[in-house]
Amino acid sequence: MGKSEVRLKKCERAIRAALLIQRWYRQYVARLEMRRRCTWNIFQSIEYAGEQDQIKLYNFFDFLMHHFTPASSERSLISHIFRVNEICRDAEWERYFCYESIEVPDSYTGPRLTFPMTFCGVSKVVQAFKHKQQLHARYVLQLLRETWRLLRILTNISHVSTCHTKEITICGDLHGHLEDLLLIFYKNGLPSSEKPYVFNGDFVDRGKNSLEILLILFGFLLVYPNDVHLNRGNHEDHIVNLRYGFTKEVLGKYRVHGKKILNLLQKIFSWLPLATVIDHKVLIVHGGISATTDLNAIARVDRHKYVSALRPPKPTHYAADGCKTQAMGSNHREASGPAEGRRRVCSLTHHSSPPAQRSDLPRRSLHNLPMGSLLSWSVEEELKRRRRLAGFDQSYGELQRSDTESGATAETDEHEWKQIVDVLWSDPMPQNGCIPNEVRGGGCYWGPDVTEEVLGRHNLQLLIRSHECKQDGYEFCHNRRVLTIFSASNYYEMGSNRGAYIRMGPDLVPHFIQYQASQACRELTLRQSVGWTERSALRALREQLFVHKSDLISAFQEFDPNNTGKISLSHWASATESVLKLGLPWRVLRPQLVSSTQYGIVDYQMWIRELSITEPKLQISDTSILETMYKNHSNLETIFRVIDTDHSGSISFEEFRQTWRLLCSHLKTEISDEAIADLAHSIDFNKDGSIDINEFMEAFRLVDLSAHA
């Protein structure tokens, strides 16, 4: 064999080896990508299911307000969340913002602010927060007052112009991730007249430093009102804040003045602009659009009426003293009850079927919100009577148009409200059309055809929105006419996603800057990062499976008529999805969730026992109350914080009982007063007759033992 033939064979072996390595690597990357996508689906499905629960709970409260008599105990428990402070005139609001009586002690080491706010002052605030210092309550209230004064003179839609000497920076959701905001400022520079910014909503909730982010952004807004633009997000809403952590954060950091700070922030959130337009060509909104989106209508909306976007306002009337007496969807709901003839809506904005078919809608929708079956006979009679008085002959959740004089006004108010909800809550979809967003429970899904029509009608070329976490921090869709930007890195878990922001010059071409705020995460390999987030997602999913174990066993037994304790893998997947309704690929996830199967058969009884979850060791006679507690942990905390009207962080035994009665009404289940009292006494650790909300929720936190193995 000649030397040339030897060299040729060596080359062939080298090429064959390279091809094998390349094939192996592609398969390796493909497997990692599949694991990453499954992990992402788990996180997102659980997140959106929580949003559905939040909106359904609020609609239950709304139902109580509409249909129960003003004197009913259920109605009185939650009536305060439907009205803003009983203050009518701006002068009274000024007094409510009063901070002069609050003294700053000499021992205070944080920044001492002077107003009007200066760049030096807000820079000191940034540095203080960077070093974990807290701004004194006096300065917080003063800064909020100045912000409120400024926001009131801003328009609903901010208009921004570019020039060749400066680019506009656009940031998406921050969700309390202060480290992401500080990293953006480090990489891109602080806001200034030469460095304008647009922050596209969802500044608060989920993260630990929502208030710090707000104060920084408000500070820069005061210094550069023409160069810093803040859009409202769906989490700038005091009802949403009850569930997702911002209310708890503020009350924990400012125990004396926290309630006042929260009330003022409710007012400020309602004054945040709804959209920003760059050079009349690029529209920036938090959520998105719908087929009926009209920027001219949005520009005319009296936006501050919508303290919560979860409920439409009632018509505005003026009393003899000139004070507005409107009882609003997120605002005022007077003790006299709903106005007669008011048109009701049973979902946030969209109705996917006529009333006669509403009972056929799937669970994952706001449209089917049936009345609690456990309500007592007298309550049922009261509901029927109130519906007759209000002109409703149909059951809860159905529409009935009114012919009263207020009908036209109500229709106008509802149209305005729908415009706002769609802007704050909607998501794009790949298919044409516009349908209810039944995954989140609010807003709509809109397709490429709607994008083309709405942008064309307003002579726009690009829609920038946020609202959805993206693994790379940004994502184009709809033929690159819609761009999602998300700025909170590590949103679900360390390594779950990058954050990103946009730089845009006069050519209106977006340039992306991606980042990871965590140094530890930046040092992980791709395999380590996927493994870390996968374990976290599976831990969250196992908790969901555990809290539904009774329902799962019942569903499995339907496929096991002979009580063998075993079912096929396909039946296991079908039953699991029928209970959790998360839309996950259960057969793909089976190896991570079920330790072993034999010939495609799952021993479901053993599998339930193997879920490595610990429970609190409490002596409670009725164990069903524990499963209800696990399954509705977030709803229960929300009701707790609604009932805790003085924001003290603790509730009495009677308030604890009322909390459970509300939850039982919402869930259409029955738990005896004796079982509730038994639970209350078992968790009153210091035996003072009251229950600390935070201690109670922590006592019932499930722990996945597999995570600590």
Q: Which residues are catalytic?
A: 235
With 0-12 / 13-18 / 19 or more C-beta atoms within 10 angstroms meaning exposed / middle / buried, residue 525 is exposed
Element (H or E) spanning 199, and its range? strand 197-199
Distance CA 446, CA 436 (A): 9
Distance CA 38, CA 9 (A): 43
DSSP state of 195: S
Q: Closest Cα partner for 290 from 122, 435, 499, 123? A: 435
Task: Give the start-end residues of each E strand in 43-142.
Answer: none
Task: Give the tokens for residue 340.
Answer: 């007669």
Peptide bond before residue 370 is cis, with ω within 30 degrees of 0: no
Angle of CA points 195, 197, 203, to nearest 5°? 145
Distance CA 164, CA 504 (A): 11
Distance CA 225, CA 214 (A): 15
Paired residues of 393 in beta bridges = none
Peptide bond before residue 116 is cis, with ω within 30 degrees of 0: yes
Distance CA 601, CA 365 (A): 33
**Which contacts of 453-459 are long-range, i.e. CB under 8 A and separated by 24 or more positions?**
453/291, 454/289, 454/291, 454/293, 455/283, 455/481, 458/283, 458/295, 459/280, 459/281
Element (H or E) spanning 475, and its range? strand 474-477
Task: Give the tokens for residue 155.
Answer: 């328009």
Residue with tokens 């374990």: 535
